[in-house]
Amino acid sequence: MSAPESELDFVQPWFLGPAAENDRMLEELVVEFLRDHAYWRRNFHPEDGLRISVGARHAQGFLDTQARMRQELYRMSAALKRAVPFFHPRYVGHMTGDLLIPGLVAKLITTLYNPNNVSEEAAPVTLEWELQVGEQLARMFGYAVDDDAEPCAWGHLTSGGTVANYEALWNLRSVKFYGIALQSGAARVGIDPGPVGPAAKPLSAYTPWELLNLSVDDTIALRRDVARALRADHPPERFAEFAAAVRAERIESLGTAGFFMKHGVEPPRVLVSTSAHYSWAKGMKVLGLGTANLVHVAVDDRMRMAVPHLREELDRAEDEGVSVLAVVGMLGTTEFGTVDPIHEIADERDARRARGFDFGLHVDAAWGGYLTSVFRRPDGSFRERDEVAEGFRYFPSDTVHRAFEAVSRADSITVDPHKMGYVPYPAGAFVARNREVVDFITQEAAYVFDLGDEEQERPRREKLHNLGQYILEGSKPGASAAAVYVTHRVLPLDSDGLGRLLGLTVRACEAFYDSVEAAQERLEGRVRLCVPFQPDSNLLCLALNPWNNTSAAAMNRFSRAVFARMRVDGERPVQIKTFIGSYTSLLKKTLPGDQTHRILTGLRLDPDTLRLLPADPGREADHLFILRHTLMNPWLLAGPDDRSYIDHYWDWLVEVIDEVLAEGGWRGGTGAPAAP
Ligand SMILES: *Cc1c(COP(=O)(O)O)cnc(C)c1O
């Protein structure tokens, strides 16, 4: 399958290009806006004259310094020739590709102005753009962003998906335990507002379990009810006393351990699939929630969260009276690009919410989030599956289509512009369905408790210009905001904009998937190929096992030797690499038994050779080492000699396979050696 010419034409102007074909355009833009910046400086108090005189440039010291700068920059530039050629279709490794020119120029030029998006004072222009980026992303995901919508979404940029994931936990935690603090604070100062909250009863009448199982929206409503009741019945001093008592009871004041002990609450659980990104484990450590409370839900034969197992884990928590802070669905796993059934997770949430067991729903769409643009029409409506499917062979499966549609039911979403948004690092994003959550985060006195008029109960958008108050990070690059903002302006997040570009990457993945069969025929009698999980998006993993080999360890040694040819090692020039890929491992420890069986059978491996060996010195027998291909380059379906890069990749891979087979070092001493 090749790409239609029109689609390849479409991508021509967007990137510097694999051979820097668009270097003139980039140069022109950079020079033009660099000069523009210089004039801007020159016109800020031109009456002051020059501080660096024209003559100074001829002084010996000046020339020496200039020479030193140049010298070091030459060294830098030379060293960077060992950087990774992410921009090229021969690079199919990690989740990064060429940079879109609008974002690249925006970033380079804005850096000259160096705005700091921690607050409006340091970023009068780019901070507003960052909030608009949040709204663009929220709209793509199907959240409401009109100022008077309730709930109204908001979003902002982070350094990446990792920090956005931490922020999700941080936000949900601050809301989850608020009800208990509110009740304790009220009791402490002897106030009992009522009737309040979803059950319309006195605050003191709520059980701790009820307070732990309020939705985000209900907690916000409860807080507003209480504020309203108190404002009506008590003088401002009394109100301030109450607000201080609530603050003192919060998890943010007491610390996690202090809060759980004082209020007799079990630490909450967070549920993710076994294929979740490792930032979730890091986040549990950072927030003091503990990795022991991170529950790994099994995956199915498509490497998607297995909902029956999710139900079991939710039942267990419910039975044990332990609250669940969040269930995290992956919209594009890092290792496989597979998509969890977000719609089924949301249904599960709704069903349990109705019987008083609630949890936050976060979607980790760091990788796949931008693919939502393929589904979103420019008018904001969501495209039917049949319509989307016209451009593809398999995409989108019913599950994938429904999962993307259901993302708007989540409380929050992580998405990485520096992955499928093709903008420079660092650019991740956190998007929340209800911006009123920021009131639970702020370092200042809570907004809703400010003794203002009723209209101020909801945070106004201007308030968000004190961005540093509501986010994990402090100083942060306004240049990143400019990069993402300008990119979204010229390539909107819908099926006519970015969606067209991303559609090409999914097509490339389908073409690669379809080509596996022919490759298997070529490799008949030499190596068995297996795609362990059918791709949901634009990532494809491939297991390779020498034909008669039955040992997992030997297969891993073989595959590592193949991978060594496509690895960037930092020591040697990248130019000697024909293709560059990445790898991942299927761990015996985390792969469900039925999936292990299916994959081992496909590869004709002896199940007894894959085991959990405490004393396995090379640790070669407790996992399967597989090749991983991220297909985000738009030119994969084109290539030299009228053959696609995918065809070229197979030619090369077959050669490498034959070389490694011939070397034979992979056979090693253990396992069943293959007959040649
Ligand atoms: C990449 C990724 C992350 C982490 O994002 P960074 O930008 O590397 O911090 C988190 N979750 C998923 C699913 C990812 O693919």
> Is residue 366 in contact with ligand 1, taking CB distance under 6 Å?
yes
pLDDT band at 6 (very low <50, low <70, confident <90, very high): confident
b/e sequence 107-143, b meaning 16+ C-beta within 10 Å: bbbbbeeebbbbbbebbeebbbbbbbbbbbbbbbbbb
More confident residue, 24 or 671: 24
- Per-residue pLDDT for 445 more than 60? no
Which residues, in sequence order, are bridge partners of residue 587? 623
What pLDDT sits at residue 593? 86
Q: What is the CA(290)–ligand 1 centre distance, in A?
A: 20
Which of 292-296, 450-454, 513-517, 536-540 has the weakest average pLDDT? 450-454
DSSP-assigned letter for residue 266: P
pLDDT tens for residues 585-628?
Answer: 999 888 888 889 999 999 999 999 998 766 556 677 889 999 99
Counting ligand 1 atoms within 8 A of each CB, the residue from 273, 275, 286, 334 with the most, and so the one to mutate, is: 334
Rounded Cα gap, residues 423 and 15, in angstroms:
11
Counting ligand 1 atoms within 8 A of each CB, the residue from 94, 166, 279 with the most, and so the one to mutate, is: 279
> Is residue 364 in contact with ligand 1, taking CB distance under 6 Å?
yes
Which of 142-146, 161-165, 561-565, 617-621 has the weakest average pLDDT? 617-621
Rounded Cα gap, residues 176 and 174, in angstroms:
6
pLDDT tens for residues 326-382?
Answer: 999 999 999 999 999 999 999 999 999 999 999 999 999 999 999 999 999 999 999
b/e sequence 69-83, b meaning 16+ C-beta within 10 Å: eeeeeeeeeeeeeee
With a CB cutoff of 8 Å and minimum separation 6, the contacts of 517 are none
> Is residue 274 in contact with ligand 1, taking CB distance under 6 Å?
no
> Is residue 334 in contact with ligand 1, taking CB distance under 6 Å?
yes
Rounded Cα gap, residues 153 and 464, in angstroms:
12
Q: What is the CA(94)–ligand 1 centre distance, in A?
A: 11
What pLDDT sits at residue 617? 60
Q: DSSP string of 329-372?
A: EEBS-TTT--B--HHHHHHHHHHHHHTT---EEEEEETTTGGGH
- Per-residue pLDDT for 256 more than 50? yes
- How many residues are there in the chain? 676
- For residue 426, the ligand 1 atom closest to its alpha carbon is 7
Counting ligand 1 atoms within 8 A of each CB, the residue from 166, 167, 277, 420 with the most, and so the one to mutate, is: 277
Rounded Cα gap, residues 605 and 618, in angstroms:
19
Q: What is the CA(15)–ligand 1 centre distance, in A?
A: 23
Which residue's C-alpha comes closest to atom 3 of ligand 1?
161
Q: What is the CA(603)–ligand 1 centre distance, in A?
A: 30
Rounded Cα gap, residues 496 and 505, in angstroms:
15
Q: What is the CA(160)–ligand 1 centre distance, in A?
A: 7
What pLDDT sits at residue 457? 58
> Is residue 423 in contact with ligand 1, taking CB distance under 6 Å?
no
Which position has the token pair 């997040």? 493
Q: What is the CA(277)–ligand 1 centre distance, in A?
A: 7
Stretch (H or E) spanning 62? helix 60-79
Which residue's C-alpha comes closest to atom 5 of ligand 1?
161
For the question of whether the overall pTM of this predicted structure is more than 0.85, the answer is yes
- For residue 333, the ligand 1 atom closest to its alpha carbon is 13
Is residue 277 a contact partner of residue 165, using CB atoms and an 8 Å limit?
A: yes
Q: What is the CA(88)–ligand 1 centre distance, in A?
A: 22
Three-state SS at 545: strand
Among residues of the chain, what percentage have pLDDT more than 90?
A: 86
Q: What is the CA(515)–ligand 1 centre distance, in A?
A: 29
